[in-house]
């Protein structure tokens, strides 16, 4: 009897702190660990949250897969990782990085502001997990070792470092008839720099931090078109934070948008002007349609594409694009997303 | 008979030679004349003026520049004992040293505001006391800088009929102008110290008159900004037909941006603080940040721009600390509050829910 009561009490004690979440641990993925930009941003986040009554301890991870594993095995309450990894917990927010879906940073700002509203809270929960904030990590660009690769057609036959867990990217690489060279965040830069692949995609940040300029060399460049908007997302078990605290967390992360974008802009400015490959407007229109068709395939899982993107997010992103660029052909297309 | 005096000494042994050397030294120092010191002094002050000053003015590291003032002033100015007082360089060195002590005063001021924000009265009081001490030291240094600059150009600011000094080169104009500016700042520091330094208040009208000796446009609006500050402090000094001081300050700030050093903007923010005009403080901070886009700093006066920036940043830090308990976050410089979701356009989510 006594043992049962004790057990019940202990159970109650064990459950109570989780529900109140006065403290929480957080696994933070940052390519350069505790001295990186993401980790530094999360330190500011933790301080803001402390001001709201939650004590968050951060733990840096330079391997995103390990961070994910530790989160799944319960070693930390919150995971901060790229949205590609977050997809498995929330397909809606994990679809922000859909190919070509957010062509400008202004559009990204609208998307993230929209998702930080209390009204969006419902969309942040999925299958027992909840997204606690989204912050930009910069647009992904195509890095090439030869400037003549400046059209989608030129990619045919080229070897491209592709994240092996990013099904939509694999589909796109297949679509342009390039060759997938399976990689992860820790080794794609090395492959590009030593010439074992011809192209790779990454945010501007990687140009200096991962020394992609080595692979770009004298003959290569960076195609000035955002292939996808990479974001860092915070996810936790649904019951880790109360609804109010979860919303406060999302608004806190949104409040750090300016800080995160300043880092993104700085990385993009660090790329010398001569390294950018500008592409003509008429080509851009063609690419936009190509990406749109692929997104629809990846949303519906047709034409051999896996079912990756969330239809609601596709609809929202289409709405944002058409609000800022109402004249685009997609806005009057019969099969609007 | 053929032997000269020198061989004779040589013959008399080493003891005598040492005696002779001491005797010569005693003779020279006895007359207060040491050719080595004097030559070194001339080289040192000449070098400081022609090379070190322009070099320092081009620096963007205001902290290093102020430490240079702290450490070199006693050495350089001590040559005033053996040669002419190096007042031009001496004025700039005191000015730089004053920036160091003012930075300390600012830190204490922020500590006071933070403690105030947390309702921690003893800490707030302690910080205020420490702030006043640093302001007193700053005021003393600035008063010296002002006096040295005026003496360097033989300008007697207390004479209402004084003629404008002859300023040979741009560097002279700048030294003279910064001297005036420093005099004005000395009054403000003295007030903030609780009058501990005893800076004569009549420096303000003197600086107002003296500022008319240099070209306003060439010097990025600093001369008129000094005058407008004085008009706001002492309305009697304002000439009858003079335009509204706030308009003059704003125009001066624009000239500063054009000239490539934004010291006038710092003077505008100081005036707004003196008069408690929060609206103008916010406006100047916003304009300063906005001016960054496409701003070309004047290479020769980068330090002047940096010091101007530190004044505007401190105004922003004070506001942030007072309102939120911490100084301006890096990417928020230019705005007076943390932005919220309300700042951005949002999409209607009804159709998705």
CATH of the domain at A88: 3.40.190.170
Residue A217 lies in a domain: yes
A169: its two tokens: 């990217």
Whether residue A261 is found in the same domain as residue A283: no
Whether residue A169 is found in the same domain as residue A300: yes
Determine the distance in angstroms separating the CA of B346 from the nearest CA of chain A, rounded to an integer: 5
Domain that holds residue A220: 140-228+272-322
pLDDT score, position A12: 47
Taking the C-alpha atoms of residue B291 and residue B46, their distance in angstroms, rounded to an integer, is 37
Task: Tell me which residue has tokens 């002279």.
Answer: B172
pLDDT score, position A261: 93
Percent of all residues in chain B with a pLDDT value above 70, rounded to a whole number: 89
Taking the C-alpha atoms of residue B239 and residue A190, their distance in angstroms, rounded to an integer, is 71
Under an 8 A CB cutoff, do B344 and A110 touch? yes
Closest CA to A80 of A137, A131, A27, A130: A27
A104 within 8 A of A317, measured Cβ to Cβ: no
Under an 8 A CB cutoff, do A114 and B349 touch? yes
Task: Tell me which residue has tokens 């990417």.
Answer: B331
Whether residue A151 is found in the same domain as residue A112: no
Closest CA to A48 of B216, B326, B61, B63: B326
Closest CA to A233 of A73, A77, A82: A82
Under an 8 A CB cutoff, do B330 and A122 touch? no
pLDDT score, position B2: 43
Whether residue A181 is found in the same domain as residue A305: yes
Whether residue A89 is found in the same domain as residue A151: no
ipTM above 0.95, yes or no: no
A150: its two tokens: 């400046």
Rg (Cα) of chain A, in Å, rounded?
21
Least CA distance to B350: which residue of chain A?
A: A119
pLDDT digits (tens, 9 = 90+) for B146-200: 999 999 999 999 888 889 999 999 999 999 999 999 999 999 999 889 888 989 9
Q: Rounded to a whole number, what is the largest CA-CA distance in chain B?
A: 123
Beta-ladder partners of A201: A142
**Residue A207, domain CATH:** 3.40.190.10
Whether residue A101 is found in the same domain as residue A205: no
Residue A215 lies in a domain: yes
Under an 8 A CB cutoff, do B349 and A120 touch? yes
- Residues of B within 8 A of A109 (CB-CB) are 344-345
DSSP B251-291: HHHHHHHHHT--HHHHHHHHHHHHTT-HHHHHHHHHHHHHH
Residue A2 lies in a domain: no
Whether residue A129 is found in the same domain as residue A31: yes
B337: its two tokens: 């509050």
Taking the C-alpha atoms of residue A245 and residue A55, their distance in angstroms, rounded to an integer, is 12
C-alpha dist (Å) from residue B193 to A203, A293, B190, B223:
52, 70, 5, 26
Taking the C-alpha atoms of residue B13 and residue B11, their distance in angstroms, rounded to an integer, is 6
Whether residue A262 is found in the same domain as residue A149: no
Whether residue A40 is found in the same domain as residue A164: no
A332 within 8 A of A322, measured Cβ to Cβ: no
Task: Tell me which residue has tokens 């006066």.
Answer: B301
Residue A128 lies in a domain: yes
Taking the C-alpha atoms of residue B213 and residue B142, their distance in angstroms, rounded to an integer, is 20
Closest CA to B143 of B74, B194, B190: B190
Whether residue A317 is found in the same domain as residue A178: yes
Give the global pTM.
Answer: 0.76
Per-run averaged pLDDT (10 residues), chain A, 337 residues: 50 46 90 88 93 93 94 97 95 96 96 96 96 97 93 90 93 93 90 94 92 93 95 96 96 92 92 94 89 95 93 96 92 88
Taking the C-alpha atoms of residue A276 and residue A199, their distance in angstroms, rounded to an integer, is 14
- Residues of B within 8 A of A254 (CB-CB) are 340-341
- Residues of B within 8 A of A251 (CB-CB) are 340-341
Residue A132 lies in a domain: yes
Whether residue A196 is found in the same domain as residue A317: yes
Burial class (CB in 10 A: 0-12, 13-18, 19+), B6: exposed
In degrees, rounded to 5, the angle at the alpha carbon of residue B89 between the alpha carbons of residues B86 and B93 is 120
Taking the C-alpha atoms of residue A314 and residue A296, their distance in angstroms, rounded to an integer, is 8
Residue A174 lies in a domain: yes
Q: At what angle do helices A257-269 and A105-115 cross, to 10 degrees?
A: 160
pLDDT score, position A295: 96
pLDDT score, position B257: 97
Chain B (288-347) residues lying within 8 Å, Cβ to Cβ, of chain A:
329-332, 338-341, 343-347
pLDDT score, position B339: 67
Number of separate domains in chain A: 2
A129-144 and A199-203 strand pairing:
antiparallel
Between A and B, how many CB-CB pairs are < 8 A?
A: 54
Is residue B353 within 8 angstroms of chain A, CB to CB? yes
A328 within 8 A of A103, measured Cβ to Cβ: no
Of B330, B332, B347, the CB nearest to A316: B347
Residue A39 lies in a domain: yes
Residue A248 lies in a domain: yes
pLDDT in tens, chain B (353 residues): 344 444 444 445 566 666 666 655 555 554 556 788 888 888 888 888 889 899 999 999 999 999 999 999 999 899 888 888 899 999 999 999 999 999 999 999 999 999 999 999 999 999 999 999 999 999 999 999 999 999 999 999 988 888 999 999 999 999 999 999 999 999 999 988 988 898 998 899 999 999 999 999 999 999 999 999 999 988 888 998 999 999 999 999 999 999 999 999 999 999 999 888 999 999 999 999 999 988 999 999 999 999 999 999 999 999 999 999 999 998 889 999 986 545 688 888 888 87
Under an 8 A CB cutoff, do B353 and A117 touch? no
pLDDT score, position B330: 87
Taking the C-alpha atoms of residue A131 and residue A246, their distance in angstroms, rounded to an integer, is 8
Closest CA to A226 of A100, A325, A83: A100
Taking the C-alpha atoms of residue A92 and residue A129, their distance in angstroms, rounded to an integer, is 12
**DSSP secondary structure letter of residue B163:** P
Whether residue A75 is found in the same domain as residue A157: no
Helix (H/G/I), strand (E/B), else coil: A135: strand
A323: its two tokens: 């609000």
């Amino acid at each position: 009897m006594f043992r049962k009561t004790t057990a019940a009490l202990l159970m109650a004690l064990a459950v109570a702190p989780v529900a109140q979440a006065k403290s929480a641990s957080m696994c933070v993925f940052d390519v350069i660990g505790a001295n990186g930009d993401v980790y530094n941003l999360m330190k500011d986040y933790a301080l803001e949250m402390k001001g709201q009554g939650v004590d968050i301890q951060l733990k840096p991870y330079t391997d995103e897969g390990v961070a994910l594993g530790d989160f799944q095995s319960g070693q930390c309450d919150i995971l901060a990782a790229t949205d590609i990894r977050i997809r498995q917990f929330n397909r809606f927010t994990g679809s922000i990085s859909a190919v070509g879906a957010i062509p400008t940073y202004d559009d990204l700002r609208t998307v993230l502001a929209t998702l930080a509203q209390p009204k969006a809270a419902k969309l942040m929960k999925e299958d027992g997990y909840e997204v606690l904030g989204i912050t930009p990590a910069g647009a992904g660009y195509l890095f090439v070792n030869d400037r003549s690769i400046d059209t989608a057609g030129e990619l045919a036959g080229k070897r491209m470092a592709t994240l092996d867990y990013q099904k939509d990217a694999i589909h796109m690489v297949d679509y342009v008839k390039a060759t997938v060279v399976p990689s992860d965040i820790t080794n794609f830069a090395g492959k590009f720099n030593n010439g074992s692949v011809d192209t790779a995609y990454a945010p501007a940040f990687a140009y200096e931090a991962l020394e992609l300029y080595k692979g770009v060399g004298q003959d290569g460049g960076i195609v000035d078109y955002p292939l996808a908007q990479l974001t860092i997302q915070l996810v936790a078990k649904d019951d880790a934070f109360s609804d109010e605290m979860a919303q406060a967390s999302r608004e806190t992360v949104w409040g750090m948008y300016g800080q995160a974008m300043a880092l993104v802009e700085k990385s993009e400015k660090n790329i010398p002007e001569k390294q950018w490959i500008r592409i003509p407007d008429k080509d851009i229109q063609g690419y936009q349609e190509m990406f749109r068709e692929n997104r629809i395939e990846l949303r519906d899982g047709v034409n051999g594409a896996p079912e990756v993107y969330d239809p609601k997010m596709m609809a929202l992103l289409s709405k944002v694009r058409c609000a800022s660029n109402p004249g685009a052909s997609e806005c009057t297309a019969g099969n609007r997303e | 008979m053929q032997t000269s005096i020198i061989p004779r000494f040589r013959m008399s042994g080493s003891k005598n030679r040492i005696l002779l050397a001491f005797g010569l030294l005693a003779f020279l120092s006895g007359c207060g004349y040491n050719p080595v010191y004097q030559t070194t002094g001339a080289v040192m002050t000449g070098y400081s003026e022609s090379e070190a000053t322009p070099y320092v003015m081009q620096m963007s590291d205001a902290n290093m520049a102020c430490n240079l003032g702290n450490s070199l002033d006693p050495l350089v100015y001590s040559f005033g004992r053996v040669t002419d007082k190096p007042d031009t360089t001496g004025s700039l060195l005191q000015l730089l040293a004053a920036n160091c002590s003012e930075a300390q005063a600012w830190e204490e001021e922020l500590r006071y505001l933070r403690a105030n924000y947390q309702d921690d009265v003893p800490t707030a009081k302690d910080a205020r006391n420490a702030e006043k001490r640093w302001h007193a030291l700053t005021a003393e240094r600035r008063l010296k800088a002002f006096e040295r600059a005026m003496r360097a150009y033989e300008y007697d600011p207390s004479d209402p009929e004084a003629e404008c000094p002859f300023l040979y080169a741009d560097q002279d104009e700048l030294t003279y102008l910064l001297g005036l500016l420093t005099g004005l700042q000395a009054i403000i520091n003295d007030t903030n110290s609780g009058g501990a330094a005893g800076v004569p208040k009549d420096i303000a009208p003197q600086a107002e008159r003296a500022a008319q000796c240099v070209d306003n446009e060439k010097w990025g609006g600093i001369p008129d900004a000094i005058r407008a500050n004085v008009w706001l402090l002492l309305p009697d000094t304002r000439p009858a037909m003079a335009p509204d001081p706030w308009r003059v300050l704003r125009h001066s700030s624009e000239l500063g941006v054009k000239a490539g050093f934004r010291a006038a903007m710092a003077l505008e923010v100081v005036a707004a603080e003196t008069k408690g005009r929060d609206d103008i403080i916010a406006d100047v901070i916003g304009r300063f940040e906005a001016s960054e886009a496409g701003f070309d700093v004047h290479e020769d006066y980068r330090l002047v721009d940096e010091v101007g920036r530190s004044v505007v940043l401190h105004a922003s830090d004070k506001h942030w600390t007072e309102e939120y308990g911490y100084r301006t976050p890096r990417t928020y410089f230019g705005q007076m509050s943390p932005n919220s979701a309300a700042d951005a356009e949002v999409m209607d989510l009804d159709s998705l829910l």
